[in-house]
């Protein structure tokens, strides 16, 4: 049997642009879409034109391909390229990269993509003072994540760089942002922030907490403490003066040195608008639960409690029926608790009883509460 040449030598078959766009949207729904988009770019010129923007808009950058990516976008200024690939880049996530190179490389990349960039996550080590100038010109930036490392920049310099970016809604600070406590005058935040994340070092006194909380724009509704050296800084919230911040969601991560969150420090003075709180599941388990809640300054506004899972060294901590009841009776507005299955020790009857107890607090006039699925939500995921 004769087999012909599989290579097509005829004229290019041109598909309508709408068809190519539909294929691109379909391909990007899969996990390995980067390699698929790269293959599509090799089909012909019309496919290249239709797929190249998607390939560079949300690049998946690893140690393996970073050098090629950086070389493509940071080619010498004297080298003229026909296609400005840097104008396609919307997301630049370098958080998994720890490369030893010139500290100006990150700055050059930011300078090239500044007009289109919407999401930036900094690399470890090589984000530095030289990167601040091009970062300040990323006027379309919505999400800025500097939490991969500490860069010895200080909170004041970071805010001075980004406080004019009107599109910025998420700001994750470096691990050493509070290594030196900032001056009050330097606490000028981007005007439309919604989420602020602190990592490792936190404000070290109630006065410094006061300065930070009072300076937050009214648009900030979520404050996340991703992790910290210890909970001493969190405990200082108890001495805070009354604030008018609009933080309604507080997320507290794991401490390296302490097991139990000082829950009694979450007061109405520090967070008058608080409705949602997330803490590690083991951080309120007895004997800590009873001890802490005996003296707690109750925050009657808390409606949702999320008990987040952590990586367990030994057997996972289990919440039992009485633990849930203690929490529920301590917060009179609480109508929803979420927790991982691995942290629960309840039978079906106890689950139903707790769900009914929480559901009985649902305000029938609140659309947001009805949509939030009140009750005890146990999910099968977890670390």
Please tell me the distance from the alpha carbon of residue 142 to that of residue 209, in angstroms, as a whole number.
Answer: 25
pLDDT of residue 372: 66
Strand partners, 252: 225
pLDDT of residue 2: 46
E strand or H helix that includes residue 206: helix 206-215
Please tell me the distance from the alpha carbon of residue 125 to that of residue 57, in angstroms, as a whole number.
Answer: 25
Higher per-residue confidence, 380 vs 35: 35
The model's confidence at residue 4, banded by pLDDT at 50, 70 and 90, is very low
pLDDT of residue 328: 87
Q: Strands 304-308, 276-280: parallel, antiparallel or unpaired by DSSP?
A: parallel
pLDDT of residue 63: 84
Which runs of consecutive H residues, i.e. helices, occur in 75-190?
104-113, 132-135, 155-162
Q: State the helix-helix crossing angle for 33-40 and 45-57, rounded to 10 degrees.
A: 150
pLDDT of residue 112: 93
305: helix, coil or strand?
Answer: strand
Burial (CB count within 10 angstroms: exposed 0-12, middle 13-18, buried 19+), residue 7: exposed
Q: Examine residue 287 and say whether the peptide bond preceding it is cis (omega within 30 degrees of 0).
A: yes
pLDDT at 313 over 80: no
Specify whether the CB–CB gap between 267 and 238 falls below 8 A. yes
pLDDT of residue 100: 55
Looking at every residue in the chain, the average pLDDT score rounds to: 85
pLDDT of residue 381: 60
Which pLDDT tens digit goes with each residue over 334-379? 999 999 999 899 999 999 999 999 988 876 666 666 666 778 888 8
The model's confidence at residue 46, banded by pLDDT at 50, 70 and 90, is confident
pLDDT at 120 over 70: yes
Residues in the chain: 383
Strand partners, 120: 92, 144
Which pLDDT tens digit goes with each residue over 159-189? 999 999 999 999 999 999 998 888 888 899 9
Which range of 26-30, 57-61, 158-162, 226-230 scores highest in mean pLDDT? It is 158-162
Tokens representing 244? 């008018």
Choice among 73-82, 120-129, 258-267, 294-303 with the minimum mean pLDDT: 73-82
Instruction: State percent of the chain over pLDDT 90.
Output: 41
Which range of 71-80, 91-100, 361-370 scores highest in mean pLDDT? It is 91-100
Please tell me the distance from the alpha carbon of residue 16 to that of residue 60, in angstroms, as a whole number.
Answer: 28
The model's confidence at residue 71, banded by pLDDT at 50, 70 and 90, is confident
Angle in degrees, CA 367, 370, 372, rounded to 5: 110
Higher per-residue confidence, 241 vs 312: 241
pLDDT at 51 over 50: yes
């Amino acid at each position: 049997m004769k087999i012909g040449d599989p290579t097509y030598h005829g004229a290019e078959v041109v598909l309508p642009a709408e068809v190519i766009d539909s294929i691109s949207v379909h391909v990007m729904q899969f996990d390995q879409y980067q390699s698929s988009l790269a293959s599509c770019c090799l089909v012909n010129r019309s496919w290249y034109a239709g797929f190249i923007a998607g390939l560079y808009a949300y690049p998946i950058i690893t140690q393996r391909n970073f050098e090629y990516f950086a070389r493509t976008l940071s080619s010498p200024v004297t080298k003229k390229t026909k296609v400005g690939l840097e104008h396609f880049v919307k997301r630049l996530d370098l958080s998994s990269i720890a490369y030893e190179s010139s500290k100006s490389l990150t700055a050059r990349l930011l300078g090239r993509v500044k007009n289109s960039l919407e999401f930036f996550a900094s690399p470890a080590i090589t984000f530095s003072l030289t990167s601040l100038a091009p970062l300040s010109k990323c006027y379309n930036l919505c999400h800025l994540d500097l939490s991969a490392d500490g860069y010895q920049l200080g909170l004041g310099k970071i805010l001075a760089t980004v406080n004019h970016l009107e599109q910025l809604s998420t700001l994750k600070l470096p691990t050493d942002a509070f290594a030196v406590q900032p001056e009050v005058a330097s606490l000028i935040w981007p005007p439309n922030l919604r989420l602020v994340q602190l990592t490792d070092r936190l404000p070290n006194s109630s006065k410094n907490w006061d300065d930070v909380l009072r300076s937050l724009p009214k648009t900030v509704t979520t404050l996340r403490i991703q992790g910290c050296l210890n909970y001493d800084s969190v405990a200082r919230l108890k001495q805070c003066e009354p604030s008018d911040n609009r933080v309604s969601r507080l997320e507290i991560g794991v401490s390296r040195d302490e097991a139990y969150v000082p829950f009694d420090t979450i007061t109405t003075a520090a967070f008058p608008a608080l409705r949602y709180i997330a803490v590690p599941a083991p951080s309120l388990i007895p004997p800590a639960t009873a001890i802490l809640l005996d003296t707690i300054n109750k925050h009657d506004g808390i409606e949702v409690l999320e008990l987040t899972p952590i990586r367990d060294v030994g057997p996972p901590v289990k919440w039992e029926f009485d633990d849930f009841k203690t929490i529920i009776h301590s917060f009179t507005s609480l109508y929803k608790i979420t927790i991982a299955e691995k942290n629960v020790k309840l039978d079906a009857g106890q689950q139903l009883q707790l769900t009914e107890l929480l559901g009985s607090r649902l305000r029938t006039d609140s659309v947001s509460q009805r949509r939030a699925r009140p009750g005890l939500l146990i999910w099968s995921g977890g670390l």
